[in-house]
Amino acid sequence: MPVDKNDILLVDDTLGNLRLLSTLLGEQGYKTRKVTNGALALKAVKHAPPRLILLDVMMPGLSGYEVCQQLKADPATAEIPVIFISALDDVFDKVQAFAVGGVDYITKPFQVEEVLARIDHQLVIRNLQRELQEKNNSLQAAVEQFDRLLLNILPKSIADHLRQQDFSVIKDHPIAESFKQATILFADIVGFTEVSAQMPALEIVDLLNRIFSCFDQLAEHHGLEKIKTIGDAYMVAAGIPIPSADHADAIARMALDMQQAIQTFQRDSAHPFQLRIGINTGPVVAGVIGIKKFSYDLWGDTVNVASRMESQGVPGKIQVTETTYQLLKGHYQFEERGVVQVKGKGEMMTYFLTRNF
């Protein structure tokens, strides 16, 4: 691997050693800076961290050991390789040099070939470490991006569960939970099909994106779980995947806020859009199935009835079932719609949620 010949800081109180090392390294293509004591070395490193330091041990003021200790104590300079170069050749001196963070130790008088070989070796290691760190950073960024995408698709508790295992296990072991009580909301944009038939495709997508992004913000504000969008229909739930006692109340507040929000989006210059909203409460099954393009979804009679409340509702109204009404009465105002023939269920008593107290 080619060596990155960035600058090397030479620290020695003997000017002859500095000139000799600077000349030898310069002939090999290295850039060098020279200082004659430890205090100047610390100042030079702070000003512009070098790629490597050749550091004498015995100097006036701070010793090479003390300089190295200070460098290693600072996270900004701790990774700079320090090679000690000294006339001290006792084993204790060498042990102390490694103890304070040195990566190598060269004894004076030195051989030119030895100095160059050891510098090249340490710079190769340094370059490999930097490349590895860059790859680790890229990998970490990719993992974080994957996590963000996963959380945009699935509830956090489900995403956390999937992170701990191979996604392929869903094929044989689908993720599913039963909930005794949850409240489901379906909303449909009234007349959107007719309006979209007269709009370019990009304008349709842009409009839906702005509307549903607004609803997404409301769902997050109320602590709800967006389930999916189908065309111009929006589905959101409360009480799943984490059960909550106020699931019906949270959905009611969401529905009222949605009705206000949709008025800011215009069908034309004189007519804002309207929503047809349906709500129902009851037991549901929630989970993730399939092995491709999987998503978190809900099943059960409660979901079907909530859908019917929307499809057989009234533009601009929030239609709720008797079950949801019983949970909310006393906290919200309602209009009794009366008995409605609901497809697949027969006659059902329904109400229009109008406002909270």
pLDDT in tens, 329-357: 999 999 999 999 998 899 999 999 999 87
- pLDDT-derived band at 92 (thresholds 50, 70, 90) equals very high
Tell whether the model's pLDDT for residue 281 goes beyond 60. yes
CA distance 263 to 275: 9
At residue 14, the 3 state secondary structure works out as coil
Amino acid 181 reads Q
Asked which of 31-35, 116-120, 128-132, 168-172 is least confident by mean pLDDT, the reply is 168-172
Give the global pTM. Answer: 0.63
Average pLDDT rounded to a whole number, residues 70-93: 94
Residue 152 pairs with which residues in a beta bridge? Answer: none
Given 210, 343, 345, 355, the catalytic residue = 343
Largest CA distance in the chain: 103
Confidence at residue 165, expressed as pLDDT on a 0 to 100 scale:
64
> Percent of the chain scored above 90 by pLDDT?
69
Say if residue 170's pLDDT is above 70: no
Lowest mean pLDDT among 202-216, 250-264, 267-281: 267-281
108 flagged as catalytic: no
Q: Which of 226, 253, 276, 308 is catalytic?
A: 308
* pLDDT score for 172: 59
267 is catalytic: no
pLDDT score recorded for residue 171: 57
- Whether the pLDDT of residue 321 is over 90: the answer is yes
